[in-house]
A and B are shown apart, each in its own frame.
Chain A
Amino acid sequence: MAPLAASHLTRRFDSRVAVDDVSFELAPGEIFALLGPNGAGKTTTLRMLAGLIRPSSGSVRVDGRIGFLTEAPGLWDRLTVERNLLVYARLHGLSDPARAVDEALELFDIGDRKRDRAAQLSKGLKQRVALARSLIHRPDIVLLDEPTSGLDPESARDVRELILRLRGERRAVLISTHNLDEVQRMADRVAVLRARLIALDTPAALRSRLFGSRLLVTVHGDAERFAALLARDRGDVRHNGRSLSVGVDNVEAAAPGVIRTLVQAGADIVSVVPEEAPLEDVYLRLLEQEER
């Protein structure tokens, strides 16, 4: 059974529909990314999943404990890192709160800062403490609202590594984010939200659905003369300097034939790789389609 399932979730604020009939399930060990423009209903969805606000209709089924990282770290600035965590360990009713805090400090590598007040921490460290706080009760489901927002690249990488570690521990992770690069690196599945769910699939399937499968071939010298040759058989061929982009039904099946044709035509092939449209293009295309 999926640890978390949203079924026809809808939330209205007066006449405005913030979230409209959203359904999905999270699997254990899965990183599920929720994408969408500002005001698309991502935070509202997360709040409904975390039980902070009620859906106007629809339901959430939860099997396990939830850890929720809010958009802002929300640490008590005048309290030490250790005290911040200890309060939450007690609020969650853990049997040995002090031990849970020690473990969290060690796991998140913040033990050396435990006596510092939260106000003294950098933004990256605050986020790390906030993440430790949301995981202190060892939740099975982790909801992360913009976990790397505003962080420097090094801190963002640290947070990403922590998230990947959660996947390794078979926890179900849902990330709401604007960071497409992050999604590309980590997400097993992507949902694009604009009040309602526009798309939900793996990044590869979304790419394939919107842009088709393509092979990217790099040759020595100008690729233009080979483009015309390939176009006779393949139809959809674009060239750019030394590169040829060839539209195919199946990358693995088509690659040997494309290579053979080019070699026979005298091309010196440097590389042949599947061409992946950036997730940004996928995302923007989905939003454009939705607007039409």
Chain B
Amino acid sequence: MKRVAALLAKELADLRGNPAVFVPALITGFFSIVMPFMIAVAVPFFTGERLSDSSDFTIAAEMYQREPAARHLEPEGAIQAMIFQQFLILLVLTPVAAAMSVAAYAVVGEKQARTLEPLLATPITTFELLLAKILGALIPGMILATGCFTIYVLGAAVLAESGVYQTLLVPRALMIMFLLGPLAALAALEMAVCVSSRVNDARSAQQIGALIILPISGLLVAEFTNNLLLTSRLIGLICVALAMLDMVLMSIAIRLFDRESILTRWT
């Protein structure tokens, strides 16, 4: 593990020197935070029309008030809480976006900078190399996502109805942020690493890694249309499925990382 730590430290130091790589993740995080506040707080404030007065939200509010964490909330607060909960899925895209931006360059970037060959001449194993690369992308993404989540909760505490922020600190919400998010980011990362082992162009790697956004968006749409309520149990099941997918992808990534091809085909 010393070699993983050594390369991970290098990855993190390298990222500190290239903060621009996080711009896509910051943009994703920004819109993930701003959108629910626009819908739940800003629009009612500026139009003078409360969400609970709209028939569009009546059924949803009633459904949501059955949730233990939302039972004590007023109808307006319950609707706000529901909106914040639904957009939480969008916040999961922040670590995914961060991880993909970094991971796409993980192997391709090293190859393009011609830094991979001396690295491969050291005793580092493929597993150690890929693990360091993946952690090097995942850790900053999670730090960023945690920062965004903190702003999200603080914003809800300050701007939303009383007690709304507490519905973001329940196990379900925390599972979305700190289990579903990292596992989805890991899957995106591994896909990006798999592809970046085989292509010469970081953008191709990013495009394939972006596929993970589709099921996450699907979850978001299903929640918005009230076709799906992401219960803790369902999130748990999704996390188990993602964890299995992550393991499969890691083994594929190791198999695809053919040192010889990387060195001889890309010259």
Could you tell me which A residues sit within 8 Å of B by CB distance?
Answer: 13, 44, 47, 50-54, 66, 68, 70, 72, 74-79, 83, 87-88, 90-93, 117, 130, 133-134
Contact in complex: B113, A76 (CB < 8 Å): yes
Contact in complex: A91, B7 (CB < 8 Å): yes
Contact in complex: A93, B3 (CB < 8 Å): yes
Contact in complex: B3, A13 (CB < 8 Å): no
Which chain B residue shows the least CB distance to A145?
A: B117
Q: Is B17 an interface residue (CB 8 A)?
A: yes
Which residues of B, 229-267, contact A by the 8 Å Cβ criterion?
259-260, 263-264
Residues of A within 8 A of B263 (CB): 47, 52-53
Give the shortest distance, in Å, between B62 (CB) and chain A (any CB): 54
Residues of B within 8 A of A72 (CB): 114, 117
Q: Of the 9-residue stretches B119-127, B157-165, B215-223, which lies at the interface with chain A? A: B119-127
Contact in complex: A87, B7 (CB < 8 Å): yes
Contact in complex: B118, A130 (CB < 8 Å): yes
Chain B: interface size category: 20 to 34
Residues of A within 8 A of B18 (CB): 78
Contact in complex: B6, A75 (CB < 8 Å): no
Give the shortest distance, in Å, between A82 (CB) and chain B (any CB): 11
Contact in complex: B10, A52 (CB < 8 Å): no
Give the shortest distance, in Å, between B196 (CB) and chain A (any CB): 17
- A to B CB contacts below 8 Å, 26 in the list: A13-B264, A47-B263, A50-B121, A52-B121, A52-B260, A52-B263, A53-B260, A53-B263, A68-B118, A68-B121, A72-B114, A74-B114, A74-B117, A74-B119, A78-B13, A78-B14, A79-B13, A79-B17, A83-B10, A87-B9, A90-B5, A90-B6, A91-B119, A92-B122, A117-B17, A130-B118
Could you tell me which B residues sit within 8 Å of A by CB distance?
Answer: 2-3, 5-7, 9-10, 13-14, 17-18, 113-124, 259-260, 263-264
Query: Which of A51, A76, A130 interacts with B14 by CB under 8 Å?
Result: A76
Give the shortest distance, in Å, between B258 (CB) and chain A (any CB): 10
Cα(A44)–Cα(B114), bound, Å: 16
* Best-surrounded residue of B18, B118, B119, B264 (most CB of chain A within 10 A): B118
Contact in complex: A87, B6 (CB < 8 Å): yes
Query: Which of A13, A51, A93, A134 interacts with B118 by CB under 8 Å?
Result: A134
